[in-house]
Amino acid sequence: MSFFIETLVGGLLAGVMYSLVAIGFVLVFKASGVFNFAQGSMVLCAALTFVTMRDKGIDFWLAAPITLTVMVLIAIAVERVVLRPLVNRPQITLFMATLGVSFVIEGLAQIVMGASVHELDLGIVDTPIEIGGVQVSQFDLVAAGTAGILVVALSIFFNKTRVGIALRAIADDPQAALSIGIRLQTLWQIVWGVAGFVSLVAGLLWGARQGVQFALTLVVLKALPVLIIGGFTSITGAIVGGLIVGAGDSLAEIYLGSLLGGSVSTWFAYVLAVAFLLIRPAGLFGEAPIERI
Amino acid sequence: MSTVGTETIEGFSSSREIAQSARDRLRAGSVVVLLAALTAIPLVANDYWLNAVLIPFLIMSLTALGLNLLMGYAGQASLGSGGFMSVGAYATYNLLLRLPELPLPVSLLLGGVISGLVGVIAGLPSLRIKGFYLVASTLATQFLLEWLFNQYGWFSNYSTSSSISAPRLAFLGHDLSSPTGRYLLTLATVVVVTATAVRLVRSQTGRTWMAIRDMDTAASVIGVPVSAGKLKAFFVSSLVIGIAGALWAFAYLGTVDARSFNLDRSFQVMFAIIIGGMGSISGNFLGAAFMIFLPILLDHLGSGVFGGAIDPGQLENFQKALFGALIVWFLIKEPRGLAALLSRAWTQLVSRINR
């Protein structure tokens, strides 16, 4: 039984790491209706920029703002060059465009900063500690704490600040928001910038865990089922979805994997997500679109 | 008064009909010329061109056609193409292996049908969910199938390596394993399937698909069989993609390898139809040409211009970035793809000549 609980807790904490990536998705989707596949390459780009500067001996507190600046510049460039000309196009076109953007970011980032695997040490000790008879990874706890702080900060940003409220207005009704003078394009830049910040946080934590390397872009594929379960438009959904996927994944790996004789983690989260979709077609917390004829 | 009016209208419509039939004849004529040229290509092209350029181009066109039926005509976006290709490849492999008395075309078709049936199962969620949620659910199919073929040895006849060599291709006593043979096999398949697909999208089925694509709620209100239409689209699409997958394994790679049907392949196919033109038959060929020729061109340009001065990893990164930028540029430039771009250029040319 304690083994079960340990697997469950480990899975839940790993799920928080997925949520971190998923939150970046949700922000962009909510504000601009873009399914941003480039989120994974933004995570890679942020981690790579940061670790390159750390390797050159630049202090953490200097490297972080510089990386953030790079991410914001990318956000502005993406809005200017890609999103603005593509406004009012079908969503699938925008999705494909973000795939193109991800190729560009991945290619350029690796040209400038190299493709070798970098170690990233954030100074977090990764020794398991025991809480109530259950072994828990300290690193995972820090990651979960960070995610918690991030969610609180984002919800304050969205609910209390002027910019945040304007963003919610755009998410609710772009036409109405435009008509009362909200500047759509500036806000898109802001929201992509915030998504860049979230990918910096995700990039640091993921990079510290598995090294900064190209494989970081694959976290996107882990974040997708999280999004489906939670719904594309809800940050709460991203967290809950992450917990469900994380727990489901590690439990399935142990119990189902031994039954089927192999690693099931590549697809289990997706099958789980489809099962959720069949019951709730717009995710647990997503808004079901109303269709008018 | 009214007679005059009718006359003008009749005169107008009949002259339009003449123009229409002239355009149809022109189009049919150019298709015939194109086909003749494609059949004659092995006489002039060397093995490199057949193996590395034309065969993958034709198969990619076929795959794009399969996805376009589903996505461009029926409006159901899917990222499971790689998975369906692998179903077709493994099914055909097992048919050739276990039922060697079946002629090659029958094995290919049966492989496609099996892939189509898998497609129907994978399409079931489309009855409930739409848009990006559906895209994500097709990803489930993709990953599940990838895992399945790696996990269970039965599919690859318990081969020790993960890639297995394809059995010899032969039909009616003719050996088709030479580059020319494989090229002609691919070409023949592509022609037959494309002709069938053209008929299909102009039939009742095609109209049903387009109604679903344009707005499925409205279609169901006026009595279009939405569920059956969606599942039929998944069946036909996966069937075509499955045949393409079998060709990819047997006529192009010469091995059946699940890794060549991964998610990247699914993205490649989706790119091909978006760049070529959704809901257009000729767009599949243009998009496939873009996806297959451009990397080869970049490769040659890269090694030609820089000639080993840059390390190959960097060159690959550069190509990737350039490729991504080109995709974005094309998406911005022409929403309806290369097919629309070309037809517009053609119309301009004709009107300039007429003037």
For chain B, say whether A288 makes contact (Cβ under 8 Å).
no
| Cβ within 8 Å, pair A281-B147 | no
| Cβ within 8 Å, pair B132-A291 | no
As a whole number, the mean pLDDT across chain A is 82
Strands B174-175 vs B170-171: parallel, antiparallel or unpaired: antiparallel
Shortest CA gap A127–chain B (Å): 33
The shortest CB-CB distance from B320 to any of A90, A106, A277 is to A106
| Cβ within 8 Å, pair B267-A99 | yes
| Cβ within 8 Å, pair B317-A277 | no
Q: List residues in chain B touching A: CB distance below 8 A.
A: 77, 125, 128-133, 135-137, 139-140, 143-144, 146-147, 150-151, 215, 217-218, 221, 263, 267, 270-271, 274, 313-314, 317-328, 331-332, 335
The shortest CB-CB distance from A262 to any of B129, B151, B320 is to B151
Q: What is residue B165's three-state secondary structure?
A: strand
What percentage of chain B reaches a pLDDT higher than 90?
A: 24
Among B228, B317, B170, B326, residue whose Cα is nearest residue A107? B317
B212, amino acid identity: I
Q: What is the pLDDT of residue A285?
A: 77
Is the pLDDT confidence value at B167 over 70?
no
**B65 band by pLDDT with thresholds 50, 70 and 90:** very high
Strand partners, B164: B256
- Mean pLDDT, residues B85-97 taken together: 89
For chain B, say whether A110 makes contact (Cβ under 8 Å).
yes
Domain residue spans in chain B? 12-37, 45-354
Strand partners, B256: B164
Residue of chain B whose Cα is closest to the Cα of A273: B137
B-chain residues near A273 (CB < 8 A): 136-137, 140
SS3 sequence, chain A? CHHHHHHHHHHHHHHHHHHHHHHHHHHHHHHHCCCCCCHHHHHHHHHHHHHHHHHCCCCHHHHHHHHHHHHHHHHHHHHHHHHCCCCCCCHHHHHHHHHHHHHHHHHHHHHHHCCCCECCCCCCCCCEEEECCEEEEHHHHHHHHHHHHHHHHHHHHHHHCHHHHHHHHHHHCHHHHHHCCCCHHHHHHHHHHHHHHHHHHHHHHHHHHHCECHHHHHHHHHHHHHHHHHCCCCHHHHHHHHHHHHHHHHHHHHHHHHHHCCCCCCCHHHHHHHHHHHHCCCCCCCCCCCCCC
Q: What is the pLDDT of residue B5?
A: 42
Q: Model-level pTM?
A: 0.84
How confident is the model over B319-331, as pLDDT tens digits? 788 888 888 888 8
Q: Which residue matches tokens 């895209």?
A: B135
How confident is the model over B5-20, as pLDDT tens digits? 444 444 444 555 666 6
| Cβ within 8 Å, pair B328-A104 | yes
CATH architecture entry for B45-354: Orthogonal Bundle (1.10)
Cβ count within 10 A of residue A224: 28
Residue of chain B whose Cα is closest to the Cα of A82: B328
How confident is the model over B194-249, as pLDDT tens digits? 999 999 999 999 999 999 988 888 888 888 888 899 999 999 999 999 999 999 98
Whole-number Å distance between alpha carbons of A282 and B128: 10
As a whole number, the mean pLDDT across chain B is 82
**B83 band by pLDDT with thresholds 50, 70 and 90:** very high
Is the pLDDT confidence value at B3 over 60?
no
| Cβ within 8 Å, pair B77-A262 | no
Is the pLDDT confidence value at A206 over 70?
yes
Cα–Cα distance list, A126 to A13, A136, A166, A199, B113 (Å): 14, 10, 41, 22, 52
ipTM score for this prediction: 0.82
Shortest CA gap A266–chain B (Å): 6
Cβ count within 10 A of residue A22: 33
The b-or-e profile of B15-26 (16+ CB within 10 A means b, else e) is eeeeeeeeeeee
Whole-number Å distance between alpha carbons of B153 and B230: 33
Shortest CA gap B354–chain A (Å): 34
Cα–Cα distance list, B318 to A29, A271, B295 (Å): 29, 36, 11
B-chain residues near A278 (CB < 8 A): 125, 128-129
B253, amino acid identity: L
Is the pLDDT confidence value at B38 over 80?
no
Is the pLDDT confidence value at B112 over 90?
yes
Chain A, residues 57-96, CB within 8 A of chain B, namely: 81-82, 85-86, 89-93, 95-96
| Cβ within 8 Å, pair A96-B274 | yes
Shortest CA gap B74–chain A (Å): 14
